[in-house]
Amino acid sequence: MGDAPEPLRFVQDLVNTLDVESGADGLEAFVGEGVEVERVRAFRELLRLICMAHGGMNMTSELIEIFEGELATAPLVLALRPDGEAELVPAPGLPPTELLFAQVAAAVAASGKDWLRLKACADESCRWLYYDRSPAGLGRWCSMAVCGSRAKMRAYRARGNVSAVPPAEYAE
């Protein structure tokens, strides 16, 4: 688990500008001047929902339509690199918000099926984006040591295996 490979790291960094647990939001510092912050904030949460779907949540047709609609405002063009390779890049002259959306679209297009390994942590208090490096691609938490452990402890307690009252020798 951890950091996504390029070019998906840009998408991961964008979504992770919000720390769900603490509420700290670094979006404005990430995007800079001239960007429609509220529109990008909504787009960021749309990306988080899509990455939750990569982890097993249902991907609705409505979610796909909204995502495609936002990306439709951000055209890409084919560019040839000096080494002869071709890549999709944002069209020249885009306003800042559309440029950011085009950067996301270019990253998704360039990543192929790796895009499906960019997931949101299954822990509702976290939802951090991580890149699932597990062999089968079935990871659920950004960190097994933190979020995975919390989830397993909650499940253990829910099964009734742990009493809410400490044993008498530990009570004050």
Is residue 148 over pLDDT 80?
no
Q: Which residue has the higher pLDDT, 150 or 61?
A: 61
How far is the C-alpha of 30 from the C-alpha of 167, rounded, in Å? Answer: 49
Cβ contacts of 113 within 8 Å, gap of 6 or more: none
CATH number of 8-170: 1.10.3300
Peptide bond into 92 cis (omega under 30): no
Is residue 146 over pLDDT 70?
no
Regarding pTM above 0.75, the answer is: yes
109: amino acid identity, one letter: A
pLDDT single digits (tens) 88-120: 999 999 999 999 999 999 999 999 999 999 999
The pLDDT value given to residue 1: 65
- The average confidence (pLDDT) of the chain is 89
- Cα 60 to Cα 48, 77, 125: the distances in Å are 14, 28, 23
Per-domain residue ranges of the chain? 8-170
Mean of the pLDDT values across residues 152-170?
Answer: 64
